[in-house]
Amino acid sequence: MQTVSDTSAARRFLAIPLLSAERGWAMAMEIKGQLAAGPEAPKRAHLQRRLWKAAAWGAELARLAAERCDARTGEAIASCRL
């Protein structure tokens, strides 16, 4: 049985990879918008790095959720991966 403090700790534990993945995705989409003005090799490489980091954080979030979350939380995270 989980206590209230265990549940809140689990939420904070998942917040870091969730926000990091979201931040990486948002940054990549901003760079993608800038590439519409004119393709530049450094920006394209930066876009690829940000997408790679977002995917890595997303995989970490899925792993942590599989280990520490109940079925309802796991289903919510799985639906985000679609």
- Give me the average pLDDT of each 10-residue run along the chain (82 residues): 53 82 91 83 89 92 79 61 47
pTM of model > 0.75: no
Residue 61 has what pLDDT? 85
Q: How far apart are CA 46 and CA 63, in angstroms?
A: 26
Q: Name which of 30, 11, 26, 20 is nearest 58 in CA terms.
A: 20
Residue 78 has what pLDDT? 58
Residue 73 has what pLDDT? 64
